[in-house]
Every structure is written in C-alpha cells, then in structure tokens.
Structure 1
Amino acid sequence: MAAIEVLARLVGENVILQTTLVLLVVFLATSWIFSNTRKLPPGPRGWPVVGNFFSLANGHRHLVLTDWSKTYGPVYRVNLAGKLMVVLSGYDIIHEALVKTADNFSSRPDNAIFKIINPQRLGIATAPFGTPWKEHRKFTLMSLREFGFGKRSMEGKILEESLAFQAELMKMGNQPFDISRMIQNAVTNVICSIVFGYRFEYNDDKFIHLMDTFDRGFSFNFFTQLAVFFPILRHVPGLGRGPKLIKEVLGTFRSFIKEELESHKKTFDPNDIRDLSDSYIKENKSRENDDETTFTDEYTECVLFDMFVAGTETTSTTMYWAFLYIVLNPDIQRKVQEEIHTVFGHDKPPSTAYRAQMPYTEAVLTEVGRTATIAPTSVYRATTRDTRFHGYHIPEGATVAANLWSVHYDPEHFPNPGKFDPGRFLDAQGQYRRDDHVIPFGLGPRMCLGKQLAEMELFLLITSLLQHFTFKLPEGADRPSTIGFNGASHAAKKFKLVAEPLA
C-alpha cells in the first residue's frame, strides 16, 4: 500500500512538472512572438528628454542621418524630443515604403513645427492622409491642367518672366551681384500668374515686402528649432523669437492670400476662369448647400498658401544651386550654351518641345537635382496605421523621414557622388539616360505637386538665360563652397557672380 502511494505521488509530481514546463514554454513563446511583432527599429541612444535632437539640430543633419544608416541599417529610429521618427535609407527601401505600400506611409506628422505652420491641418502639403486631402489634391491638379499647368501653353508665362529677368541682368553691367533675389522674383511671379492671374513688377513695394518676408521665413537656425520643439524655452529671452517669427511670416502670407481671394470674388465670372483662385471660388459656390463639404474659403486659403509658398521656395533654391554649379564649371556651361545655340540659335525662344534634342542640357539639370537635393529627407511623412515593415513595428502616427540624400549620394550607384558630373546621365552615344534613382521631388502619392512646373521652369529659365549670358565668378573671388546648409530646405551658401551678355 505504501509503495502504491509513493508511485502515485511521483506520477503526480511528474504531471505537475510537465504542466509547468509546458506553461513556461507557452509563456516564453508568446512573449517572444509578442515582442517580435512589436519590435521597433534599432537606433542611436539619445539624451534624456531631448533624445537625439542635438545631434540633428545643425545644418548638416542629412549627413548625420546617412552616417547612422551605416551603423543601424536602412530602417532605424531616432528620438526627437520624445517623438519617434523612423528613417528610411536607400532607393529600394524608400520605393517599397512610399510606392509599394504607399497607403501606410502617406500621412503627415502631427509635430511641433507642423502645428505652428498649419494647426488645423488643412490644405494639401501638411494635411493628413484621408479623403479631404485626396479630394483637394485631385481637384487642384485638374484645375491646373485646365489652364496649362505642365503643358506648353504655360511656356509663355515663363518666357515672359525670363525677359524681365534678362532686363534685370542687363542693369548689372559687369558688376558682381548675388542672383538669388532675381531668381526668387522670377519664380514667384510664375506662381502668382498661376494662382492669382498676374505678375508683379520687381520694384513693386508689395512684392519687395513679400520677398523680404520669404527671406526671413526660411532662415531657420538651431535656436529657432530649439524653441519650436521645446515650448518652455519660448519664455527664455532671445529664444522665443523663433516661433514668433514663423507665425509673423505665415501671417503675412496668409493675409496676402486672403486679400487676393476676396478681390477675386468681387470680379469673379463663372464663364471666365482666370486662375487657380477662380477655380476654387467656382467649386466652393457649387457646394454651398453641402454641409459636409471641405470646399470652403478657409480650406481654399490653405491650398493657395501651399501652392504659393512651396512652389516658390523649392524651385528658387534649386535654380540657385544650378547657377552655383554653372559658374564653378565653365566648361559645362560652354557645352550647354553650344547645345542651346545649335537647337535655338541666338534669338529663337527656347521650348520644351525640343528637350529631346538637348541631351546634355537635360543631363546637367538632372545632375543639379541630384547634387543639390534640396529636401534631403523629403517632407516628413507619417504612418497611417500600425505598420509592419522589414521585420519592425512602426506605430500609427510615427514620423517617417525618407532619406533622399542616401539615394543621391550612394557611391555604389553614383561613383564619386560629390563630383558634379552630367556624364552620369549620358550613354555612349551622348544621348540622355534617365535614372530612376534621381528623386528630388520624392516618390509616391505625396510626391511634390509642382514637379512638372518646376522642371519646366528650370529648363526654360536656365536655357533662355544661358542663350544670352555667360555667368562667371568675379575676378579674384574665392571659389564658393558646394557644401550647403539646412534651413527650411538644403540651400547653397550665398555667392556672387558676373553676368556677361553674349554678343
């Protein structure tokens, strides 16, 4: 009897042991699976509270981010003052996220700077992914195409501006000057003609005030960023000026746009749609009885603001880079001029209809887009939902930075990437060779809305100017740096040139 009790006890203990082991294995497996599905990408360690902010709050954050990708891989995270940002590097990774799985990566973050710029999250550029954004982007593109956006009928407005640009250059004689304001004037006037139906004279007081406001608004620095991300610092003397400056600049532009919209309403004729403002007024009127519509004056002002500001800044900055590389590479400038004169002569206005006959010029403009990379991390995206990507968990609403610099300066694809070399985009016969790895306007549904217009402006303005002028560095001037700095965009440092009219 005692033996039977001992045996029963041993069997019971064995069952308990087996059960315990099974439960332990289940617990460990469940924990592993759960932790694996919630695994965040790796990333650099940061400081308490500020995270990696100080490592990135400088003029070369794109270089820091690119360097970190070599340590942490093509998908990694950084901590921006307690906010998660996932960085995507390399063409394949960026294309997979922004194109193949676009619905997961097409929103905008609800971060500190966007809250200042667009607290209600209206418009197109900084609006979240969703029906209103899709509706307004589609309507804006449709309206723009109706009056020539992306078509040769737009050439007349750009070439008209080129003539005004040339007249300003003639006034300079052979004196050194900074061409940035002239570029800004010309590009802004093209946008004005599309959005408001008219252009400014360069000496117009209102126009000068707007251009001065542009210069103030896009001169971000470390302390501006610091006070934006840490609101408590806005009470520190000297630091609080940054966010106030941003709001003042935005207020100036929005007042200007509101005033223009009201003026358009007074002269509106549904049978004569003059510009994008008229298109929106007509659409808004057609939906007046729809209580659910987002086609309102408030939303319209935000869309026009996006078009006016974003279209001016990006193209102006790219063109300034173009002139920097033109004066630094006189042999390249000479080859472009030879091609222009072969195709158009010295007097015939350039036209995009002949772009296919100008492979070298096309290659030069492509190389400008690559080397300048004016939006090194593109405009920040945000995930629309919890997302599983390359084995990592990326939570809904996480900021996503597509590191375009890592694509454009990939030495495996672009050998000696720091060299300005248009030959990268020419085949053995000297014909232009497109490269999908040049993506200055981004990828996917949130690609820059003004891509076609920007490409047309760059081609027409630069070819028409080089048709009539040679641009040089001033005699004895130091060679300008090709190392840019990050403000609102990746911009070239200021330099001076001389414009010599061609005989």
Structure 2
Amino acid sequence: MAAMQFFASLVGENLILQTTLVLLVVFFVTVWFLSHVRSPKNLPPGPRGWPVAGNIFSFATGHRALTMTEWAETYGPVYRIQLGNQTMVVLSGYDVIYEALVKTAEDFSSRPVNAITSIVNPQRLGIITAPFGTAWKEHRKFTLMSLREFGFGKRSLEGKILAESEALQAEILRMGGGPFDIGRMVQNAVTNVICSIVFGSRFDYNDDKFTRLMDALDRGFAFNFFGQLAVFFPILRHVPGMGRGPKLIQDVLGVVRGYIKEEMDSHKETFDANDIRDLIDSYVRETKSHENNGETTFTDEYTELVLFDMFIAGSETTSTTLYWAFLYMILNPDIQRKVQAEIHAVLGHDQQPSTAHRAQLPYTDAVLTEVARMGTILPTSVFHATSRDTSFHGYHIPEETTVLPNLWSVHYDPEHFPNPERFDPGRFLDAQGRYQRDDHVIPFGVGPRMCLGKQLAEMELFVFFTSLLQHFTFKLPEGATKPSITGIFGITNSPKKFEMVAEPIA
C-alpha cells in the first residue's frame, strides 16, 4: 500500500510538473506572438531572440559590446535587439553615432524608462537619468554654472587634486615596496575630489563612513549579468542566488542617498548666503529663492538626485580609467619609461604638474588618450532614448525607444585604429611627436548628453597620472602572472583585480 501511494504521488507530481511546463510554454509563445504582432512596422533589423527573453542570453557570457559590434557586421550600423519586452536600437560606428547624438540631438537625447531606472530613480529626477526637456536643461545649466564657482575647469581646482595626489602617494609609500592593489586607493582619492566640490570637505581614507560609501560603490558597479537579469525579469528573483539584484541596488542607494540627505540637512542648519561653500550650498540658496514661486523643480528631492548623480559619476568613471592606466603601465614598462622621461625632462622630480604643462607633455597625453580608447569604461555609453517618433537611416524608431550608442565599435574600429587590440600611444602623435587629438576617442560620449564632468575628469586623469609617475615606477610583483586586459563588464568595464609594486624614484 505504501509503495502504491509513493508511485501515485510521483505520478501526481509529474502531472503537475508537466502541466506547469505546458502552461509556461503557452505563456511564452503567447507573449512572443503578441509582441511581434503589435510591434511597429519598419523597425531596424536585428538578431533573432528567444521568446519572452529576447537576446538577453546572448550576453550571458563574453563582452556585450563586442557581441554588439559583431552583430553590426551582419545587420548594419543601425539595428535592434530585444531584452525581455523592451526593444532597443544599437548605433555602431562614429559617423552613425555622431549623426544621431549631435546632428539630430533633439530626437536622440532623452533617457529610457526601464527596470533599473524604475528602482534607482522612479521619478526620473536629477541629471543623468532625467528625460530630455526643460527641467533637465535647467538643472544641467545651473549645476555647471555652480561648479564653475568652485573651480570647475579652472586651475584653482588643481590644488584639491594635487592635495589628494600627495595623500595617495603617502598611502603607496606605506606599502613599503610590497605588492598591493591600487584600485581602492585611486577610488578614495578621486572620490575625495568630488566630495570637496559637492560637500565642501574630504574624508580620511580610513574614516568609517567613507569606507561604507566606497564599499557601496564597489557593490553597485560590480552589478553582474545575473543580477541585472533578475531586475528585468522579476520572476527570477525567486531563483536561489538571483534575487539579490534589486536588493543590491536598494542597499547601495540607501547608503549613498542616506549620506547625501545627512549632508543636506547639515548644510541647511549652517547655511550662510554670504558664504557659499560647495554645490549643496548653491542648491540650498537657489531652492530658497524659489520658495514663493509656485511650481518649481528646485526642491529638496530634485537636489538630492542631482547630488547623487554628481557623486556617482564623479567617483567611479575616473578612478576606473586610472586603474586601467596603471594596468597598461605595468604591462608596458617601455612606455612607462618614456612617460617618466618626458615628465622629468619638463618638470624634474619636484615641480608639481599642472594642466598648463599638458602641451609640453605630448607623449603623456597620447598615453592617456590610448588608455581612454582601450579601456572604454562605458562601452555602450549611458543609454539614450528617442524623445519623439523619428526616422533614421530609413527606419522608423518610435518615441521612448532605448538607444545604445556602441562606443566600443568606435574605439575598436580597425579601419580607423589599425590593430586596435594593441596599446599604441603613437596613434595620437604626428611625425614631429606632437599630440594629435582624435575625435574618434569619445569616452565621455557626444552631443547634449555628453558627461557633465568631462573637464574635471580630464584634469584629474592628467594630474594624478603625471604626479604618480613622476615619483614612482610601477611593476609586476616578482614571479606574478601577467594580469588580463579583458575587463569585467558590470555597470562599467573595469579591469580584473591585480597587484603591483611601486618603487620610489629618488
């Protein structure tokens, strides 16, 4: 009897399982059919995908931007992909990206609504994820104007960067010539620069609050494919090991935005209209001036999102680029020696570097440009979206379609950059050894949505890189395996962790 009950239960379980599978298949096929029946006509072509999931599994392994670049060879420079129920248009090659984001910027300068932004910023406030329109223009303009008051784009800001460079050098000396990972050190230094501009003060590197902030940033930007998959497909959050994605985003948001709110409250209590100390004070002053104006976007909530955008953008991208720079230096010691020879010829061993010296350091400038090209920390840029129905290259692209400018396809275009996998600063030097700017290196994007912090980032990269190579030679630890130059594709494209040693230059 017990055996019969056991087999009956098995049959029952199998029947339930089979019924569930049939229902799932019917559901997936129905959704796929409806999405294809209802899809607008004359969309760009694109690779076939799975029912419901679309092309998302094509990105499960390997480099997403590389896969997209390969697809462009088959489907052309304007094609579509499907991620879940979301249709996205991919733009490949410099000419097409420039045409869309610069020549027809009014059509391609909005931001998409997707599963991640609905968690991070459901109201779509701030600057980075805000839609194209009056509010975004108003706050971008005001933020840039305020930042200029604090030295943004001016040499007065170099003092803050040089002070952080000296603190970073002291941290490196504390390693005593032993192996260490410079990644967190660089992140601390770069983040402190943006903290001094936004919050009016810097942190000690071992400060508990600062450590929590840095840990939160690391977790957020390491957000991997499977975590992102669970965000786009909520049902997967119940699968063991895949439900952490949305919670991870909320945890990171809680830490960073919690700190920003604390700073805003503190600034309000100590606010003095005659002593504007930082970006928060600028926003407090502007918000107060709009208190009796009825409808306004200068609110505490909007301010918090603008500050969040500035903090995130100003900390991660520059530090990741510097991390790539030091990786390429230890892998190319001959290039490192040439950079140091140029620095010492112009600055000696004691004169502090300044952006005013940039024209005298063409090889160093070329090296940093090659780092930006090869590192490509945002391979598909920050996602764009169409602000209205538009026709582009003969295709119909509906309003609010997500648009991915594939910067990787520009930076690794073999026709413009022969042998693109080779680290070669000579690409950016003329026959006389003078630096040649190349418009095809666009790590900050192009058009109205170009990165707000471009000037600050370029200043930081030059000053940090030059001052560190002026005082140290960086090498692989004895017997260490060569680090990989294949990045980790999370929110950004960052190097895999590596260690090096630093030898002080007498």
- The two structures have a TM-score, normalised by structure 2, of 0.91
Q: C-alpha separation between the residues in 1 aligned to 2:99 and 2:316?
A: 28
Query: Equivalent residue of 1:402, what SS?
Result: strand
Aligned: 1:240 with 2:243: yes
Identify the residue that residue 492 of structure 2 maps to in structure 1: 489
Tell me the secondary structure at the aligned position of residue 247 of structure 1. Answer: helix
Residue 68 of structure 1 aligns with which residue? Answer: 71
User: What is the aligned partner in structure 1 of residue 230 from structure 2?
Assistant: 227
Checking the alignment, whether the CA contact within 8 Å between 1:326 and 1:471 is kept in structure 2 is: yes
SS at match of 2:88: strand
SS of corresponding position for 2:420: coil
**Aligned partners of 1:223 and 1:206: how far apart in 2?**
29
**Equivalence for 1:21:** none
Paired letter, 2:324: W
Matched position secondary structure for 1:475: coil
Match of 1:363 among 363, 366, 380: 366
What is the aligned partner in structure 1 of residue 83 from structure 2? 80
The residue identity in structure 2 corresponding to 1:149 is F
Provide the rounded CA distance (Å) in 1 between the counterparts of 2:88 and 2:436.
35
Corresponding residue pairs, total:
468
Correspondence for 1:135: 138
Q: Secondary structure at the match of 2:213?
A: helix
Question: Do the aligned residues in 1 keep the contact of 2:225 with 2:490 (CA within 8 Å)?
Answer: no
Secondary structure, counterpart of 2:91 in structure 1: strand
Q: What residue is the counterpart of 1:7 in the other structure?
A: none
Aligned to 1:264: 267
Aligned to 1:396: 399
* 1:205 and 2:192 correspond: no
State the secondary structure of the residue aligned to 2:416.
Answer: coil
CA distance in 2, matches of 1:88, 1:122: 26
* Pairwise CA distance, 1:417: 0.2
Map 1:82-481 → 2, pairs under 5 A = 82-481=85-484
Contact 1:58–1:486, Cα closer than 8 Å, also in 2: no
Distance 2:263 2:431 in 1: 52
Q: Return the offset for 1:38.
A: 4.0
Distance 2:50 2:104 in 1: 33
Secondary structure at the counterpart of residue 413 of structure 1: coil
Equivalent of 1:46 in 39, 46, 49:
49
Query: 1:293 is matched by which residue type in structure 2?
Result: T
User: Relative to structure 2, which stretch is displaced further, 49-58 or 282-291?
Assistant: 49-58
CA displacement 1:202-236 (0-9 Å, x = unmatched): 11111111111111122212220111000122233
Distance of 1:405 and 1:455 partners within structure 2:
20
Q: Distance in 2 between matches of 1:59 and 1:255?
A: 35
Structure 2 equivalent of residue 11 of structure 1: none
TM-score, structure 1 normalization = 0.92
Superposition deviation, residue 354 in structure 1? 1.1
Instruction: Give secondary structure in 1 for the equivalent of 2:82.
Output: strand
Give 2:505's aligned amino acid: L
Structure 2 residue 478 is the aligned partner of structure 1 residue 499? no
> CA deviation digits over 1:14-51, x for unaligned, max 9?
xxxxxxxxxxxxxxxxxxxxxxx941100001000000
User: What SS class does the counterpart of residue 86 from structure 1 fall into?
Assistant: strand
The residue number in structure 1 matching 2:34 is none
> What displacement does 1:59 show?
4.8
Q: Helix, strand or coil: the match of 1:43? A: coil
* Cα distance between partner residues in 2 of 1:365 and 1:241: 36
Q: Distance in 1 between matches of 2:70 and 2:478?
A: 38
Larger radius of gyration: 1
Correspondence for 1:18 = none
What is the rounded CA distance, in whole Å, between the counterparts of 1:59 and 1:258 in structure 2?
Answer: 39
d(CA) in 1 for partners of 2:93 and 2:217?
A: 32
Give how far 1:371 is off.
0.3
User: The residue matched to 2:341 in structure 1 has which SS?
Assistant: helix
In 1, distance between residues paired with 2:62 and 2:183?
A: 20
Q: Is the 8 A contact 1:59 1:485 kept in 2?
A: no
Task: Work out the CA distance in 1 between the residues paired with 2:60 and 2:133.
Answer: 31
Deviations 1:265-299 (A, max 9, x none): 11111111111011000000000012210000000
C-alpha contact (below 8 Å) 1:227/1:240 kept by paired residues: yes
Cα separation, partners in 2 of 1:123 and 1:211, compared to 1, 3 Å: same
3-state SS of 1:349 partner:
coil
For 2:270 and 2:340, locate their aligned partners in 1 and report how far apart those are by CA, in whole Å. Answer: 44
Aligned partners of 1:125 and 1:214: how far apart in 2? 17
Looking at structure 1, the residues matched to 280 and 396 of structure 2 have their Cα atoms a distance apart, in angstroms, of: 43
Conservation of the 8 A alpha-carbon contact between 2:91 and 2:404: yes
Q: Deviations over 1:234-278 (max 9, x none)?
A: 233332111111111111100000000111111111111111011
8 Å contact kept, 2:200–2:277: yes
Structure 2: unaligned runs, 5 residues or longer: 1-39
Whether contact under 8 Å (2:212, 2:255) holds in the other structure is: no
Quote the sequence identity (%): 76
Q: Which moved more, 1:388-397 or 1:226-235?
A: 226-235
Amino acid at match of 1:109: P
| Rounded Cα–Cα distance in structure 2 between residues aligned with 1:384 and 1:59 | 32
Q: Is the 2:90–2:406 contact (alpha carbons within 8 Å) kept by the matching residues of 1?
A: yes
Secondary structure of 2:171's partner? helix
